Amino acid sequence: MGKKIRINKAISDCGFCSRRKAEELISQKRVTLNGNTVNSLATLVDLDNDIVEVDGETLKLKSKIYILLNKPSGYVSTTSDEKNRKTVLDLIKVKQRIYPVGRLDYDSTGVILLTNDGDFANLLLHPKNKIPRVYKVRLDKSADLDTLKQLERGITLNNKKSKFEKIYPVSRSDKINFYVECIEGRNHFVKNMFQKIGFRVLKLHRESFAIFKDDIPIGAYRYITENEVRKVKSLYV
């Protein structure tokens, strides 16, 4: 048996219409469940096994799926690539169509989420939600912390005032490896910030994104639990 949810939610989750509109359709007796007219708004449906029709049109119900991948280097984080490079989807064996939430560069590693839940992806990517990201970077040459602190105070990048929330060395005497905390999701943001002040990022690993940490080996993935999804929604909405 698959997961059961309210029928109006199932109808809206599969993209047919809003939940309210689905309730109207049910009240107008235009919705059937396994061939029988639905009479109650409280009806539950099994996303994997039930057949729901509206005006005789069969809906393709879908269960929500959430995955955390610890991305290895050498994979693009798009669903297809014009240069035919491997994509993060090649690492994940699921039937549903999912897509990455935001981007990590081809050579970057670390936490990337994948889902088929557009609302969840939007919540995590919308700048107003200020979702924290923590990166570990390796620079091409020694850097004084004083020099790097200007990135905390803020610089202009592509005509926009841009900053890291925090930057600090991985260990006290380390001048090459740093942790960077930021709430920016622009593509190549971390590399571009360093480049603007004369440094190249040789390695970039995302240690965490929102509440999710790189708690699995590189190249492995795990399912995100319903509790974690709920927690993200309660923290950031």
List of residues contacting ligand URA (CB under 6 A): 104-105, 108, 188-191, 204
CB 41 within 8 A of CB 85: no
Residue 127 three-state SS: helix
| Smallest distance from ligand URA to CB 18, Å | 35
CB 94 within 8 A of CB 67: yes
| Smallest distance from ligand URA to CB 8, Å | 38
Residue 176: closest CA among 200, 208, 197? 200
Q: How far apart are CA 215 and CA 24, in angstroms?
A: 45
Catalytic option among 46, 50, 105, 107: 105
Radius of gyration of the chain measured on its C-alpha atoms: 22
| Smallest distance from ligand URA to CB 109, Å | 9
Nearer to ligand URA, 43 or 108 (CB): 108
232: left (phi over 0), alpha (psi -120 to 50) or beta: alpha
| Smallest distance from ligand URA to CB 195, Å | 9
Q: Pairing relation of β-strands 52-54 and 109-115?
A: unpaired
215 is catalytic: no
Nearer to ligand URA, 59 or 76 (CB): 76
Nearer to ligand URA, 63 or 192 (CB): 192
Nearer to ligand URA, 183 or 220 (CB): 183
**Which residues does the annotation mark as catalytic?**
105
